[in-house]
Amino acid sequence: MRPKLVVDYLVYLIVRLFICTVQATPLSVCAQVSKFLAWLASDVLKIRGKLVDSNLAHAFPELSPPERKKLARRSWYHLCLMVCEIAHAPRKLHDTNWHKHITMRNIHIQIEQALGRRPVVVLLGHFGNFEVMGYCTGMLGFPTYTVARPLDNPFLHKWLEEFRSSTGQIILPKQGSAPYIEQVLNQNGTLALLCDQNAGPKGCWVEFMNRPASYHKAISVFSMTSGAPLVFLYMRRTGGPMQFEFGVEGIYDPATASEAKGVKEVTQWYNEMLERVVRRDPEQYWWVHNRWKDERPAKKREQEAKRLAAEKVAAAA
């Protein structure tokens, strides 16, 4: 066995041992431990501390440094508790008791779309517990084809994919999935995509949380070429562990829109949906995610920033 595979397998064993420990621990205890781990990661070890503080400073310029520090700690708490909820989901969430853990908001919109004779593109961000949302969607009888990047560790990837597909969710690889996506849309299936992944210098740039961010153009193209409505979903924690609100934030249907939108306009639309849910519950977003990474030349960045600022002023006028 190659050295990398040995290391990967050892990491896999450690992670599985940790998950087994979490599953054997009551969720109320997991929540308390998550608070400690959040304090450790944010205040002591300062993991990605500069990046998180920079992200929060740009997104919420009105917050003072102490307020940003508290928000960063709450964000880490969300991430730690999210892992615990994922570990407990197969044992806690069933088709007979889901209503004790999840409240629905405007979900009839998604059901109507899923039962229709048209393809549907579901969008979500690195917000709330999107992994449990995918698990619940399949459990409730509405499985999706989800595009996800494979983990670098093949053993962890296989284990995570088994969790994701355990209720009927079908995982498509991020690379080379174009033919499968076309087939899903042609057969009126439901495609699920994380919409806030960095698309690099050649992506579609729109303003997100007060800074330019790059989005994949393919998301808009899928809707424009297939006529599929875009449905923005979220699952946010509303109280203690495993207590969620599962909702539809908005829908863009090219068939009923007053005027056709281009790639830029469609991207701006779902970006606004994401920003709305993040601003309501900022601690449930992945601020450790380097969402605003910009590798374009300085001159290009400056021109783009001026253009976006001008568009913002024109929209407000």
pLDDT value of position 312: 67
Alpha-carbon span 291 to 210, nearest angstrom? 12
pLDDT value of position 281: 97
- Of the CA atoms within 13 Å of residue 80, those in its CB half-sphere come to 21
Of 173, 180, 98, the closest CA to residue 139 belongs to 98
pLDDT value of position 315: 66
3-state secondary structure at position 74: helix
In single-letter form, the type of residue at position 314 comes to A
Q: Give the residue numbers spanning the domain of 211.
A: 3-315
- Rounded to 10°, the helix 49-59/65-92 angle is 110
Angle at 156 between CA 173 and CA 288, to 5 degrees: 80
Length of the chain (residues) = 317
Token reading at 225: 């070429």
pLDDT value of position 64: 97
Alpha-carbon span 176 to 110, nearest angstrom? 28
pLDDT value of position 212: 92
pTM score of the predicted model: 0.89
Alpha-carbon span 223 to 268, nearest angstrom? 14
Sign, CA torsion 196/202/206/212: positive
pLDDT value of position 102: 94
Domains held by the chain: number:
1
Token reading at 84: 């615990």
Sign, CA torsion 311/127/190/203: positive
Alpha carbon 100 to chain centroid, angstroms: 23
3-state secondary structure at position 105: strand
pLDDT value of position 114: 63
168 sits in which H/E element: none
Angle at 125 between CA 120 and CA 127, to 5 degrees: 135
Strands (E), 160-262: 170-173, 190-194, 204-208, 211-215, 230-237, 244-252
Give Dmax (Cα) for the chain: 64
Per-residue pLDDT of the chain (317 residues; tens, 9 = 90+): 578 888 999 999 999 999 999 999 999 999 999 999 999 999 999 999 999 999 999 999 999 999 999 999 999 999 999 999 999 999 999 989 999 999 998 877 767 766 677 899 999 999 999 999 989 888 888 888 998 888 889 999 999 888 888 888 888 887 778 888 989 999 988 999 999 999 998 899 999 999 999 999 999 999 999 999 999 999 999 989 999 999 999 999 988 887 778 999 999 999 999 999 999 999 999 999 999 988 878 777 777 767 766 776 666 66
Question: If you search the block for the tokens 């806030």, which residue do you land on?
Answer: 196
The answer to whether residues 259 and 20 touch, using CB atoms and an 8 Å cutoff, is no
Question: If you search the block for the tokens 């996800």, which residue do you land on?
Answer: 148
Of 222, 216, 215, 152, the closest CA to residue 180 belongs to 222
